[in-house]
């Protein structure tokens, strides 16, 4: 057999093997998802421990931290109802259910009384929402971030990120940011974290909304549509920084924010995450912290709403446990928070998951707060969550059965995609 024929045959075998593996991955992922959604049917949501909203002064303003959706939504709706001048509202998911309708009606009421209402929502995340819900009175300026935004630049990855942010700013006076989407299930069934900000920090949050709006408004509105927020702030809050991932500018500072903070940690790194699929360097940074004696704890849902993400997330468990990182898994409810607190002084609350989609793909926003009182709040919340967690031990992890190991091995290669 000639060398060229042998090479061709080897390439054919390699292609077939690759297709077989991808096929098995797809079938496995679909089967897991179907079985999981079948099992969830008719399952009653279970209660979980929560903390009441906690307000602390930070600089010349305040931060209030929420861990229960109903508390948060009540305050967001009250802020919208009291708006006099301007509302900036941005969400990834916006369900057409009771809570979703309440937000829509509150925004419509505000627009009718003369408030300038600007709304941004992600087109892809809300594909399943009925079109009638997505029709707004002309007085509300709506920027639907399109499902497909790359035009003819098919291979330009900068245009494939989703708008994953969740922001509300009212009258330059109060701002909200964090993990909560808008929907009834999130009000009572999911454990998430969001914060309310007053004081000079609000301006920076407003700025983040305006930057997104100005970046994308041209294709959605007439050319003469005035950009938002051209003025600059007269003062700023050094204890709070708003980090934004902006894929179209290929700018992803949130990952760097985490790595820098973890690298500086001396006593503890406590992270709470919904979907935890870090890249290898991120894992190494956590392991190095644990090895130098830092108390590194990762709190995750025992079962998230995306079972495939759960399986893929487990790929690094052995390495992390081996380095002394402690993994806690929240029972009976979905933890959707994206937060961390370090050394009693540093905290972050945001929209970015620790996975590729958030760290290097989507539009995201995280507020970084350097303040001991806020860190104390985050630690209290973490400890409350721990009371509803089971710790995963190395013995337990090592004793998992062969089927689980097989599933992990098959799904593991998908990790860089999520
Ligand atoms: O993308 P997130 O983090 O807002 O989570 C959304 C839920 O997973 C929707 O299924």
Triad 241, 243, 245: Cα angle to 5°: 175
* pLDDT higher than threshold 80 for residue 221: no
What average pLDDT does range 44-49 have in this prediction? 90
What tokens does 214 get?
């100005």
Q: Report which of 52, 128, 69 is spatially closest to residue 333, judged by C-alpha positions.
A: 69
Burial 53-77 (b: 16+ CB within 10 A, else e): bbebebbebbbbbbbbbebbbebbb
What is the CATH classification number for the domain harbouring 366?
3.30.870.10
* pLDDT higher than threshold 80 for residue 287: yes
Cα of 146 vs centre of ligand 1, distance in Å, is: 18
* Number of CB atoms found within 10 A of residue 194's CB: 29
Domain check: are 84 and 180 in the same one? yes
Average pLDDT, the chain: 94
Atom from ligand 1 closest to the CA of residue 304: 8
Cα of 358 vs centre of ligand 1, distance in Å, is: 11
Q: Which domain holds residue 394?
A: 244-417
3-state secondary structure 144-164: EECCCCCCCCCCCHHHCCCEC
209 lines ligand 1 (CB under 6 A): no
92 lines ligand 1 (CB under 6 A): yes
Atom from ligand 1 closest to the CA of residue 275: 3
* pLDDT higher than threshold 90 for residue 412: no
CB 359 within 8 A of CB 352: yes
**pLDDT tens column, 72-122:** 999 999 999 999 999 999 999 999 999 999 999 999 999 999 999 999 999
Q: Count each helix (H run) and each strand (E run) in the chain, helices first.
A: 13, 17
362 lines ligand 1 (CB under 6 A): no
* Domain end marker among 206, 236, 266: 236
What average pLDDT does range 356-372 have in this prediction? 97
Which residues, in sequence order, are bridge partners of residue 335? 191
274 lines ligand 1 (CB under 6 A): yes
Atom from ligand 1 closest to the CA of residue 179: 4
What average pLDDT does range 13-35 have in this prediction? 87
End-to-end CA distance of the chain: 43
pLDDT of residue 144: 96
The alpha-helical segments, DSSP class H, found in 292-327 are: 307-313, 317-323
Domain check: are 297 and 221 in the same one? no
* Number of CB atoms found within 10 A of residue 41's CB: 6
Domain check: are 164 and 210 in the same one? yes
The answer to whether residue 167 sits within a structural domain is yes
Could you report the predicted ipTM of this complex, rounded to two decimals?
A: 0.92
Residue of minimum CA distance from atom 7 in ligand 1 = 305
Domain check: are 73 and 210 in the same one? yes
Indicate the number of domains in the chain: 2
* Highest-scoring range by mean pLDDT, 46-50, 228-232, 235-239: 46-50
Atom from ligand 1 closest to the CA of residue 181: 4
Residues in the chain: 418
Atom from ligand 1 closest to the CA of residue 306: 8
Domain check: are 293 and 370 in the same one? yes
* Domain end marker among 212, 236, 260: 236
- Going by pLDDT thresholds of 50, 70 and 90, the confidence category of residue 1 is low
Q: How far is CA 96 from the centre of its chain?
A: 21
Q: What is the pTM of this model?
A: 0.93
Q: Within the chain, what is the greatest distance between any pair of CA atoms? A: 82
Residue of minimum CA distance from atom 1 in ligand 1 = 164
Domain check: are 127 and 209 in the same one? yes
DSSP 178-204: ES--BSHHHHHTEEEEEEEEESTHHHH
* Domain end marker among 219, 236, 253: 236
Q: What single-letter DSSP state applies at residue 363? A: B
The answer to whether residue 347 sits within a structural domain is yes
What tokens does 152 get?
């003819």
pLDDT of residue 227: 87
353 lines ligand 1 (CB under 6 A): yes
324 or 42: whose pLDDT is higher?
324
Q: How many CA atoms lie within 13 A of 129 on its CB side?
A: 21
């Amino acid at each position: 057999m000639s060398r060229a024929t042998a090479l061709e045959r080897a390439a054919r075998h390699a292609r077939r093997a690759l297709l077989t593996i991808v096929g098995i991955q797809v079938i496995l992922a679909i089967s897991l998802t179907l079985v999981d959604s079948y099992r969830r049917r008719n399952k009653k949501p279970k209660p979980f421990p929560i903390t009441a909203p906690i307000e602390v002064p930070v600089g010349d303003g305040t931060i209030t931290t929420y861990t229960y959706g109903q508390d948060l939504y009540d305050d967001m709706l009250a802020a919208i109802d009291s708006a006099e001048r301007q509302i900036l509202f941005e969400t990834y998911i916006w369900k057409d259910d009771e809570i979703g309708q309440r937000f829509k009606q509150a925004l419509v009421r505000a627009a009718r009384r003369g408030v300038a209402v600007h709304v941004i929502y992600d087109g892809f995340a809300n594909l399943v929402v009925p079109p009638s819900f997505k029709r707004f009175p002309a007085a509300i300026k709506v920027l639907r971030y399109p499902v497909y935004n790359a035009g003819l630049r098919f291979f330009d990855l900068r245009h494939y990120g989703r708008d994953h942010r969740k922001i509300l700013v009212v009258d330059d006076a109060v701002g909200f940011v964090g993990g909560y989407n808008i929907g009834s299930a999130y009000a009572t069934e999911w454990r998430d974290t969001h914060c309310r900000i007053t004081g000079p920090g609000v301006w920076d949050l407003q700025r983040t909304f305006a930057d997104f709006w100005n970046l994308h408004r041209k294709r959605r509105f007439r050319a003469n549509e005035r950009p938002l927020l051209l003025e600059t702030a007269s003062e700023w809050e050094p204890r709070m920084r708003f980090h934004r991932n902006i894929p179209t500018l290929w700018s992803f500072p949130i990952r760097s924010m985490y790595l820098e903070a973890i690298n500086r940690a001396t006593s503890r790194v406590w992270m709470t995450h919904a979907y935890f699929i870090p890249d290898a360097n991120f894992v190494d940074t956590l392991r190095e912290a644990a090895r130098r004696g830092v108390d590194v704890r990762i709190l995750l849902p025992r079962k998230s709403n995306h079972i495939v993400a759960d399986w893929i997330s487990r790929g690094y468990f052995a390495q992390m446990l081996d380095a002394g990182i402690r993994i806690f898994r929240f029972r009976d409810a979905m933890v959707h928070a994206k937060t961390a607190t370090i050394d009693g002084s540093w905290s972050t609350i945001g929209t970015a998951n620790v996975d590729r989609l958030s760290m290097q793909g989507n539009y995201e926003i995280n507020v970084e707060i350097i303040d001991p009182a806020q860190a104390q709040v985050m630690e209290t919340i973490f400890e409350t969550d721990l009371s509803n967690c089971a710790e995963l031990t190395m013995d337990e992890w090592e004793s998992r059965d062969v089927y689980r190991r097989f599933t992990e091995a098959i799904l593991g290669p998908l990790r860089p995609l999520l």
